[in-house]
Structure 1
Amino acid sequence: MWTSALLLVLLTVTSQTLAKAKNRFTHYPSWNAKVYPIWKAGDPKYEDSWKGGKVNFNVKNDSPTLTGAKVTFTIELEFPHNQEVLPDGSVVWAEDCVVNGTKYFKSEPVYPTKDADWEAVFPDGTPVKDDKKPPYVFVWKTWGKYWQVADGPCSSLTISTDDIPLGSYTMDIVIYHYRSKEKFIPLGYASTQFSITDQIPFAVSLDQVNDIVAGDMRFVQNRAIAFTVTLHDPSQYLSNADITFNWDFGDESGALISREMTVTHTYVSSGSFKPQVVIQAVIPDKACDPPSDPPTSSTGPTADQATTVRTPDLVSPVPKLVSTKPAHLNINMVLSDTEEDNAEGEASTASMVQADQEAAVAKTPPPINKLQTGNKMAANGKRTVRLSGRVAAIAVAKREAEDKPSDDDCVIYRYGSFCTAIEVFEGIEKVEIVQMENVLMTTPRKDTNVLDITVTCQGSHPKEVCSVILDSDCLKPIHMACNLLEPSKECQLVLRHFFNSSGDYCINVSMANDVSLAAATARFTVDLGSGLSSSGTIVMLLGVLVLILTVGIVGYSYKRLKPYHPLKEAASEGPQLSGVRSSAAASMLWNSLNRRGAIDNSPLLQDRPL
């Protein structure tokens, strides 16, 4: 008994370990494991699957996706830092380096292209329709189906969501790299989550001119707010739909019905409001299009065709999923493995809707026909998706040729809603420059022009004032100053600026508080006057006049107070003759300069005979 119990515990632990080691991505019956080997997640061989390091995968998708639209998945391979991708998709070494003892040079291909005379095939054996050997093969899996894509290091896949139940799903990807003839090496696995919804995905942005903090949902009264709707419709599923927007701004101003993506509304009072919008899209039903040529019968699915998912007790046969592929891609969708893709793996990919959505209808009628939905769907053979817990059933019924649909039956109604809360405050309504006064201040060193600007405002009291001095064209800032303001009863203040040079200027005065901003602009001229009126020039002129007056006084005093020495006839002495002559010559020069006339006014003072 102990042996049996021990064996049971061992089997349980082993099964749990295998379940954890088993990768979600399982191969299908026709998988060519020789060309495309399958390695489990965590296999040590992944460490050496690429020279120079590990390759990472950046996988994205454009969900949420409106049911009936197409969802696109993208993958980009991120190579080691010492490698780079060329425009043609080839990977080369970005620098000279040594890896595992091997020397590699810059611009040398990491894996040189090998000319192999063989026909490339997908894992299921389908030929790759391309003249050039594909460097990578991506196998995508979801909903029990596989899509095979041959492409470069960046690839994408677009598939339709027709007749897929609402919920959240997982797209698994395995990436292979062409290494040699009939040999692809797996680089790893990746996955991404995506969702399908019957609500129109969209976003609403609210903007107001001169909003201090964008996105804080705080706005100013008596100023228009722009409400802009941005639809999330990357596949253009709603391109031909008639879309209307029903707005309620929450201030009892009434409803606004518009087909424009942007509307404006002005709140005339302050307070808290909850604006909301309901979107209705009337989409033409492709099922009502005139039937094309009847398809010819075939023994099996084509390369780009989907086959029925055989997941017992989960889903009934699902119609074909049409995928859109670019011209440069090779896409092949094949049947999944009926043995390994069990109910546990598939059921975990979908997060079904709640119990109240158990009878969700793929084509939602207008609200006025809500009570007649069930009868019309049964009578006309509409496709209905019914969700119950983890079990999804898709019932497909055929429409008789003589049953002509009505106008309401040829459109699909989809809705979306949005609601938010905002705060509206009284703001600074107006800023006005009422007076500008120039005052010339004279100092011993320089003259300064003082500009006093009187500014008033209306509305709520500002907390900060900023003034910017610009050039005459109001384009180039010269000086800026900001100051905090104390609360006061009246919104009036005087700003003072100093200027050291003349010229034409422009000033911008702005006032702001937590929710609003207002500004005013004016031009003015600063004139410091001519140079003659400058205090420095006046002082210099006064100094020159004082100097001239001083020189005159000194000269006059010297003339009047100089002692007089009479001329005497000296004896004829040889050594003193030259000195007497020079002294007489100097006296004659001074007398000639100071002589007032040709007549000597004091002849009696001379010590010589009359």
Structure 2
Amino acid sequence: MEGLLFDFLLVCACVVFQADGRKTYADMFPHKHAMAGKIPFPIPPIPGWDPDTNPWDDYLYPPLNPKPKELMHHKGKPKVRLTSDSPALNGSCITFTAKLEYPPCQKEDANGDLVWDDHCEDANGQVRTGHVYNWTSWLDDYGFGKCPDAAKCNVFPDGKPFPQSNDWSHKSYVYVWHAMGQYHETCDGSSSSLTINTTNIPLGAEVIEVMVYRKRERRKYSPLTTDNTVFYVTDKIPVAVDISQKAAVNQSQNVFFRGEDVVFTVQLHDPSGYLKTAACH
């Protein structure tokens, strides 16, 4: 009887440990927003995004190995470069782009597979051909409608199904975006972009980060790389001013001569076209 009681308590302890050990989106990303954890829902909400207190399936999407990105790239994995068209005027839209950079002599083909560039010689002067990674080879077994467990195939870390589109089979990477205590998920090829409206985003600087996974056979997704960038929301119209001078040819641009005309070129930064309908005063 004592042995059975001990086994029962051990099982309970394991269940409690597993429950306590479940990861959320906030656990998976290194950057923590100042508001995260203090209120049940992040403020301000980004339309179409979800709070990072939602559970993350770390069996399907294992944590990223915390090694330097340079080392990962050296070992043959792509790395991601995250950029934005920041700064953004409050009320306008800002667009973020995550683009994969492949190791030398690797490229993505028309099917979304990673192949060797047969026009490229490696460091040893060798030319390789064929697949580096062929994810479309298992689509017949794990494609949409063919998965034996719909909750475990073609889903994001929170269990939402991948969006179905005519070109979905070419989208071999999962991008998980995180900012201000919220997250968003996309499926794409070697690059992915998203646009958000800045109306409810506080003025100043914020951090956005992206984590990239590669789709893999047997209902598992391989962590590849991550990156982050700072973006800015302002209530001042962003402009860039270039100052030049009508001077002799071959003169340095950093040298100005007294008595010569100075030319000011003002360029408005409004990539989303927010100010196209603005009235001048």
Please say whether Structure 1 and Structure 2 have the same fold, judged by a TM-score greater than 0.5.
Answer: yes
1:140 is matched with which residue?
A: 177
| Structure whose alpha-carbon radius of gyration is higher | 1
Task: State the distance in 2 between where 1:240 and 1:217 align.
Answer: 39
Q: Which of 167, 182, 191 is the aligned partner of 2:228? A: 191
CA distance in 1, matches of 2:219, 2:208: 27
Kept in 2: contact 1:92–1:106 (CA 8 A): no
1:121, 1:29 → 2: CA distance?
Answer: 15
1:170 alignment partner in structure 2: 207
Q: 1:203 to 1:29 in 2, by over 3 A?
A: closer
C-alpha separation in 1, matches of 2:55 and 2:76:
32
Distance 1:224 1:35 in 2: 65
Name which of 138, 144, 160 aligns with 1:126: 160
Shift of 1:108: 1.1
Counterpart in the other structure of 1:407: none
**What is the aligned partner in structure 2 of residue 32 from structure 1?**
57
Query: Corresponding residue for 2:188?
Result: 151
The alignment's C-alpha RMSD in Å is 3.4
CA distance in 2, matches of 1:91, 1:156: 20
In 2, Cα distance between equivalents of 1:154 and 1:53 = 18
1:110 aligns with 2:129: no
Q: Deviations over 1:52-91 (max 9, x none)?
A: 5232222211111111111111111112113123355432
Q: CA deviation at 1:42?
A: 3.2
Q: Distance in 2 between matches of 1:143 and 1:173?
A: 13
2:101 aligns with 78
For residues 22 and 92 of structure 1, the distance between their equivalents in structure 2, rounded to whole angstroms, comes to 30
Distance 1:148 1:22, change over 3 A: closer
Q: Deviations over 1:553-578 (max 9, x none)?
A: xxxxxxxxxxxxxxxxxxxxxxxxxx
Shift of 1:219: 4.6
TM-score normalised to structure 1 length: 0.32
Q: How does 1:129-528 map to 2 (within 5 A)?
A: 129-131=163-165, 132-133=168-169, 134-212=171-249, 213=251, 215-216=253-254, 218-219=256-257, 221=259, 225-243=262-280
C-alpha displacement at 1:217, in angstroms?
Answer: 5.9
Q: 1:50 and 1:230 mapped to 2: Cα distance?
A: 37
SS at match of 1:239: helix
1:23·1:41 contact (CA, 8 Å) conserved in 2? no
The CA deviation at 1:192 is 0.8
Cα distance in 1 between the residues matched to 2:74 and 2:114: 11
Pairwise CA distance, 1:168: 1.1
Q: Which runs of 5 or more structure 2 residues have no equivalent in the other structure? A: 1-26, 33-51, 148-152
Distance in 2 of aligned mates of 1:62 and 1:214: 30
Alignment deviations for residues 568-606 of structure 1 (CA, whole Å, 9 cap, x no partner): xxxxxxxxxxxxxxxxxxxxxxxxxxxxxxxxxxxxxxx
Whether the aligned pair in 2 keeps the contact of 1:52 and 1:82 (CA below 8 Å) is no
1:35–1:233 distance in 2 versus 1, CA, 3 Å: same
Q: For the structure 1 residues 178 and 200, does the alpha-carbon distance in structure 2 shift closer, same or farther, using more than 3 Å as the test?
A: same
Question: Is the CA contact 1:71–1:159 (under 8 Å) kept in the aligned structure 2?
Answer: yes
- Structure 1: 5+ residue runs without aligned partners? 1-20, 99-103, 245-610
Q: Is the 8 A contact 1:41 1:189 kept in 2?
A: no
| Alpha-carbon displacement from aligned partner over 1:316-347 (angstroms, at most 9, x marks no partner) | xxxxxxxxxxxxxxxxxxxxxxxxxxxxxxxx
Using the aligned pairs only, state the percent identity.
34
Q: 2:97 is paired with a residue of what secondary structure?
A: strand
Q: TM-score, normalised by structure 2?
A: 0.65
Counterpart contact for 1:207–1:214, Cα < 8 Å: no
The aligned counterpart of 2:42 is: none
Q: How far is 1:39 from its partner? A: 3.5
Task: State how far apart, in whole Å, the 2-side matches of 1:40 and 1:83 are.
Answer: 22
Q: Which has the higher contact order (CA 8 A, sep 6+)?
A: 2
Kindly indicate whether the alpha-carbon contact (under 8 Å) linking 2:82 and 2:210 is maintained by their aligned counterparts in 1: no
Is the 1:69–1:235 contact (alpha carbons within 8 Å) kept by the matching residues of 2? yes
